[in-house]
Amino acid sequence: MSSSDSKTTAPKIGVYPGSFDPIHNGHVDIIERCFPIFDEVVVAVLRNTSKEALFSIDERVEILREVLADRPRCRVESFSGLLVDFMSEIGARTIVRGLRAVSDFESEFQMALMNRRLDPRVETVFLTPKEEYSYLSSRLIKEVSRLGGDLAGLVPQAVLERMPQRTPKPKPTA
Ligand SMILES: Nc1ncnc2c1ncn2[C@@H]1O[C@H](COP(=O)(O)OP(=O)(O)OP(=O)(O)O)[C@@H](O)[C@H]1O
Ligand SMILES: [Mg+2]
């Protein structure tokens, strides 16, 4: 077998990294779009993030696994340190990121170039969600939940069930 043959037969792994605190339907939409493109999809939860967390890493992994349980070509992992090092460990070369709007572009562009600089074998691909999910972010989900808004249709059931216990309703102002 020539080296080009082995290249074409190696499973194509797409790595979708993020903090997923919590996963919402914009994330789910991007993950679904990965299946026709990759043989295997690895959802990778970032451990070293400066963002203030609502769910612990273990809880996020548990929720993601529950949401993606019926997807045999998908697994959920967490990682710390550099994404490119994690990718090298699992034999992956492709990063998947979601692009919601122009506002995402600049930071995503910088990150893609930095990751390429750190490991030139790594390529980043960008996928866009269904328009109806393009305004969603975990930050906004947490904010709406905290203010008592309805999240039905915006997050998977596994998140919906856990959110109210985590975020007390705001006290009424006098
Ligand atoms: N609604 C969405 N549609 C498409 N891609 C999205 C959406 N929300 C997030 N993503 C993408 O998912 C990846 C992981 O992002 P991240 O975990 O930061 O989610 P987030 O919703 O942006 O959370 P936060 O508000 O905490 O930043 C990024 O590539 C991000 O652009
Ligand atoms: Mg984000």
pLDDT tens readout for residues 34-51: 999 999 999 999 997 777
- Per the model's pLDDT, the better-predicted residue between 52 and 158 turns out to be 158
Mean pLDDT of the chain: 91
Q: Is 157 in the pocket of ligand 1 (CB under 6 A)?
A: no
Question: For 69, what's the count of Cα atoms within 13 Å in the CB-facing half-sphere?
Answer: 7
CB of residue 18 inside a 6 A radius of ligand 1: yes
More confident residue, 17 or 171: 17
State if residue 22 touches ligand 1 by the CB under 6 angstroms criterion: no
Is position 134 annotated as part of the catalytic site? no
Question: Which ligand 1 atom is nearest residue 16's CA?
Answer: 13
pTM of the model as a whole: 0.91
> In the predicted model, is pLDDT for residue 133 greater than 90?
yes
The span from the CA of 67 to the CA of 169, in Å, is 25
Nearest CA to ligand 1 atom 3: 26
Most confident of 46-55, 78-87, 102-111: 78-87
pLDDT exceeds 90 at position 54: yes
CA atoms 76, 80, 82, 86: torsion sign: negative
Residue 44: which residues within 8 A CB-CB, separation 6 or more? Answer: 15, 16, 17, 18, 76, 77, 78, 79, 83, 86
51 catalytically annotated = yes
Q: How far is the CA of 120 from the centre of ligand 1 (A)?
A: 24
State how far the Cα of 151 lies from the Cα of 111, in Å rounded to an integer: 30
Distance, CA of 86 to CA of 109 (rounded, Å): 20
User: Does 4 have pLDDT greater than 60?
Assistant: no
